[in-house]
């Protein structure tokens, strides 16, 4: 089962907001390679998603009276990932984490074996046509997302989002409550009205001994929710213009800060080695021109 990024997912916008040049390196990776290069964190996340997708798809098949064996077991699916990866770098990066993901899955089954869910959809791609200012004529392209799991319990629908963590901490709930990815899923759910139960953060520890799982309820953040269209339309308009510009990565703006190149609590930016030495061919840069009036006008129009 494919659990890769959706065509225009949150991650592209988020990377550009963190640092335009960071998005530039990913963008050129996508052109050359079809996707950004794996880091250890993304490799663990990919393997975990594949494992849980097969776990829940087999559960759904059983619930629907189909043969679950038409799907690989989660462990086999995870083990096959490095073998079917055509890029040697990504294959080796994933292979390093297969054993840890197997351990994490065993802990996951033990914790959630007794839960009763009706599986509605596994790894389904949705488009956000209810976020104002996106997807219309002259507007940034509508965002998309891959919802890891939609299930029903107690006559309510829930969206479950899997997140692998090297070590689960109290900060994860705080951080993800404010993440645009979760905010977008909440926007989508709001369109379902009373039938929507909520977005569930499914934290799974991979590595560090594994076998720790949590599903903390997300904080109520109405200010962040209401601000999402304003932020997304602004940043997406800029990102799309840079991607269309043809400028090489070394001519996209950097965010040269200890909080972006290497955050105090986050790992080093995976592109730091390139940024250290990639010198722009010219320094008089013709930046893409931004149509900020349109973005601001759109937002004003929507709020009146």
Nearer to ligand SF4, 144 or 254 (CB): 254
Going by their DSSP bridges, the two strands 156-165 and 196-205 should be labelled as parallel
Q: In Å, what is the CA distance from 79 to each residue of 83, 87, 168?
A: 8, 16, 24
Applying CB under 6 A, what is the total number of residues that bind ligand SF4? 13
Q: Does 280 bind ligand SF4 (CB under 6 A)?
A: no
For ligand SF4, which residue of 22, 143, 186, 239 counts as binding (CB under 6 A)? 22
Tell me the closest approach of the beta carbon of residue 40 to ligand SF4, in angstroms: 16
Nearer to ligand SF4, 25 or 234 (CB): 25
For ligand SF4, which residue of 21, 49, 146, 186 counts as binding (CB under 6 A)? 21
- Which tokens belong to 166? 């090297």
Q: Does 146 bind ligand SF4 (CB under 6 A)?
A: no
Tell me the closest approach of the beta carbon of residue 253 to ligand SF4, in angstroms: 9
Tell me the closest approach of the beta carbon of residue 20 to ligand SF4, in angstroms: 8
Q: Does 162 bind ligand SF4 (CB under 6 A)?
A: no
Q: Does 254 bind ligand SF4 (CB under 6 A)?
A: yes
Q: Does 275 bind ligand SF4 (CB under 6 A)?
A: yes
Nearer to ligand SF4, 33 or 268 (CB): 268
Q: Does 260 bind ligand SF4 (CB under 6 A)?
A: yes
Tell me the closest approach of the beta carbon of residue 147 to ligand SF4, in angstroms: 29
Nearer to ligand SF4, 69 or 258 (CB): 258
Nearer to ligand SF4, 21 or 49 (CB): 21
Nearer to ligand SF4, 19 or 59 (CB): 19
The window from 52-60, 71-79, 142-150, 248-256 that contacts ligand SF4 (CB under 6 A) reads 248-256
Q: Are 29 and 37 in contact (CB under 8 A)?
A: yes
SS (H, E, C) the chain: CCCCCCCCCHHHHHHHHHCHHHHHHHHHHHHHHCCCCCCHHHHHHHHHHHHHHHHHHHHHHHHCCCCHHHCCCHHHHHHHHHHHCCCHHHHHHHHCCHHHHHHHHHHHHHHHCCCCCEEEEEEEEEECCCCCCCCCCCCCCCCEEEEEEEEEECCEEEEEEEEEECCCCCHHHHHHHCCHHHHHHHHHHHCCHHHEEEEEEEEEECCCCCCCEECCCCCCCHHHHHHHHHHHHHHHHHHHHHHHHCCCHHHCCCCCCCCCCECCCCCECCCHHHHHHCCCCCCCCCCCCCCHHHHHHHHHHHHC
For ligand SF4, which residue of 1, 266, 272, 296 counts as binding (CB under 6 A)? 272
Kindly list the residues in this chain that would bind ligand SF4 in the complex (CB under 6 A).
19, 21-22, 25, 254-256, 260-261, 269, 271-272, 275
């Amino acid at each position: 089962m494919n659990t890769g990024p959706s065509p225009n997912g949150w991650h592209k916008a988020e990377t550009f907001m963190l640092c335009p040049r960071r998005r530039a390196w990913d963008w050129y990776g996508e052109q050359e390679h079809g996707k950004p290069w794996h880091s250890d964190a993304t490799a663990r996340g990919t393997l975990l998603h594949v494992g849980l997708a097969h776990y829940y798809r087999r559960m759904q098949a059983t619930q629907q009276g189909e043969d679950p064996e038409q799907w690989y077991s989660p462990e086999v699916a995870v083990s096959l990932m490095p073998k079917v990866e055509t890029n040697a770098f990504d294959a080796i990066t994933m292979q390093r984490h297969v054993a840890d993901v197997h351990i994490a899955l065993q802990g996951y089954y033990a914790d959630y074996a007794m839960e009763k869910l009706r599986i509605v959809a596994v790894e389904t791609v949705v488009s956000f046509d209810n976020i104002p200012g996106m997807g219309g004529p002259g507007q940034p392209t509508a965002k998309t997302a891959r919802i890891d799991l939609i299930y029903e319990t107690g006559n309510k629908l829930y969206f479950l989002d899997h997140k692998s963590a090297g070590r689960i901490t109290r900060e994860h709930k705080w951080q993800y409550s404010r993440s645009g990815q979760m905010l977008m899923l909440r926007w989508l759910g709001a369109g379902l009205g009373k039938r929507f139960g909520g977005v569930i953060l499914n934290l799974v520890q991979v590595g560090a001994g594994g076998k720790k799982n949590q599903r903390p309820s997300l904080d109520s953040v109405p200010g962040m929710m209401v601000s999402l269209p304003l932020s997304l339309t602004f940043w997406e308009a800029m990102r799309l213009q840079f991607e269309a510009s043809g400028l090489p990565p070394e001519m996209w703006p950097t965010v040269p800060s200890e909080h972006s190149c290497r955050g105090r609590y986050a790992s080093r930016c995976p592109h730091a080695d390139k940024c250290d030495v990639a010198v722009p061919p010219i320094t008089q840069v013709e930046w893409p021109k931004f149509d900020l009036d349109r973005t601001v006008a759109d937002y004003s129009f929507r709020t009146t």
